[in-house]
Structure formats: C-alpha cells, structure tokens
Amino acid sequence: MTLQEYDYARESPSKLAASCLLLALTMKNLGGWTPTLEYYSGYSAQDLHPLVKRLNFLLTYQPQDKLNAVRSKYSHRVFFEVAKVTPMDMLKLEEALTSC
C-alpha cells in the first residue's frame, strides 16, 4: 500500500520493510523486536516506532473509493487475505510498542 502513497517514497526500503515486519509481529502478537532482528536489520525498535505508527494509520484510514486493485488482490485467499486484517487500535499499538 505504501507504493501508492508519495509520503513513503522518502523512506529507505530497508526501514520500511523492518517497520512492516514490526507492525505485523505486533498485530499478530508474535513477539517483539528481538536482538537478532535488530542486529540483522540495523534498526532498533525505537527507530521504527514513528514509521510503524504511520503504517498503522495508513491501514486504518485508507481511502475506500480509489486504488482498489491492491486491496482487491490481497483480499484473495492466495495472499492469505492480508488486506482484510483489522488494523490495531492506535492506543493499543502505542502500549505494545512501548513494551518492546
């Protein structure tokens, strides 16, 4: 979804990928940002927090009337229907991020 948003073009691809992974781990309660992830990504969890919050905001307030191709594609079971995953409540996300 970030490919459709000009605001994310200035982010480095590695930081964007790491932030997406941290958001996914948090959304699915699969643990936090481990020392191994920090070592191999080069990013601490605190480095990723602002971008993770922006990504969750993008998922929460996505426009429903345009650019439906990506949403439609990733709503299919072949892609595990990831477009249908409910975004986290911003307060719960904040709590989860402060604990990792």
- CA 82/CA 89 separation, integer angstroms: 17
pLDDT in tens, 44-69: 999 999 999 999 998 888 766 666 88
pTM, 2 dp: 0.85
Q: Please report, for residues 7, 67, 91, the alpha-carbon distance to residue 24 in angstroms, rounded to integers and kept in the order given.
A: 20, 22, 16
Q: What is the rounded CA–CA span in Å between residue 32 and residue 61?
A: 24
Residue 33 has pLDDT above 70, yes or no: yes
Token output for 81: 């229907």
CATH code of the region 2-99: 1.10.472.10
